Amino acid sequence: MRLKGVVAVDNEPLYDVLSLPSSLSAGEYCFFTVPIGGTIASAINSSAVKSRCETNLTNAGRLPEPERFEILAFRLVFDQGANAADIGKILNRSYFEIRVGGQTTAMHRCPTRVITSGAGILSSASGAAGVTQSLGLPVPQAVLTFSPDTTVVIELNENFSVCLVVCDAQSLSGGSAAIPVMCVLDGYHAKGVRKG
């Protein structure tokens, strides 16, 4: 039985995976909309059922009562098998939004390319050819951190969404049929304490 009014606070992330198709339409691709047990693209999970490997969300776009979450930092992790040219297209032609409450007002918005480091050019060869052929990959452990007085809080029973907004249609021509992308929200996760 839950102890009424008592919560445990863990430094535990919220995470979720979605699959970006090879033909990206302009518009929103939102994380945290399909909870554990929901349908997922077979490019991510061959059983097409979302598991704890893909998300730790149990409700679509909302934490279960009495949970709350303070977002201190966030990151995007692209599938390790994705083509660098395709990752570059996504990073360059999209922006990222975190919405809490009515899901229409952005609490935070930034260009996608600034979230993960390593999206710039790396050159290991001389001349223009060496530069154009060596695009730095995003580093999975890189995070974008909020300053302490500007963190985003998901309160009790609040809806929330985290979206990649693609600015214009993109065709992923680098050989990726689809690209699974994980969004990780780092922060403090307040959960109900259960007895025994």
List the pLDDT tens digit at each of the 196 positions of the chain. 344 556 788 888 999 999 888 888 899 999 999 999 999 888 788 888 999 999 999 999 999 988 999 999 898 888 877 777 788 888 889 999 999 986 667 889 999 888 865 544 444 455 545 444 444 555 655 677 888 888 999 998 899 999 999 999 888 776 667 788 999 999 999 988 765 5
Number of domains the chain is built from: 1
| Whole-Å CA distances, 167 to 92, 152, 170, 191, 196 | 9, 24, 9, 37, 50
CA angle 148, 17, 2 (to 5 degrees): 65
Q: What is the model's pLDDT at position 113?
A: 83
Of 190, 193, 179, 196, the closest CA to residue 9 belongs to 190
**Predicted local confidence at residue 147, as pLDDT:** 82
Q: Return the DSSP state at 137.
A: P
Residues near 188 by beta carbon (within 8 Å), at least 6 away in sequence: 9, 10, 11, 69, 70, 72
For residue 150, what is the DSSP state?
A: G
Give the C-alpha distances (Å, rounded to integers) separating 196 from 1, 2, 3, 5: 8, 10, 11, 17
Structural domain boundaries, residue 33 = 2-194
Residue 51 has a pLDDT of 94
| Residue 184 CB contacts under 8 Å (≥ 6 apart), including other chains | 13, 14, 15, 74, 75, 76, 77, 143
Cα–Cα distance between 6 and 57 in angstroms, integer? Answer: 21
Query: Which residue in 16, 29, 11, 99 sits closest to 57, CA to CA?
Result: 16
Given a contact cutoff of 8 angstroms between Cβ atoms, the answer to whether 8 and 193 are in contact is yes
Supply the pLDDT for residue 2. 41
Confidence (pLDDT) at 1? 35
**Rg value, the chain, Cα:** 18
Structure confidence at residue 69 (pLDDT): 94
Provide the pLDDT for residue 103.
60
The set of residues, in sequence order, having a beta carbon less than 8 Å from that of 22 and lying 6+ positions away, is 171, 172, 176, 177, 178
Q: Phi/psi zone of residue 7: left (φ > 0), alpha (ψ -120 to 50 degrees), beta?
A: beta
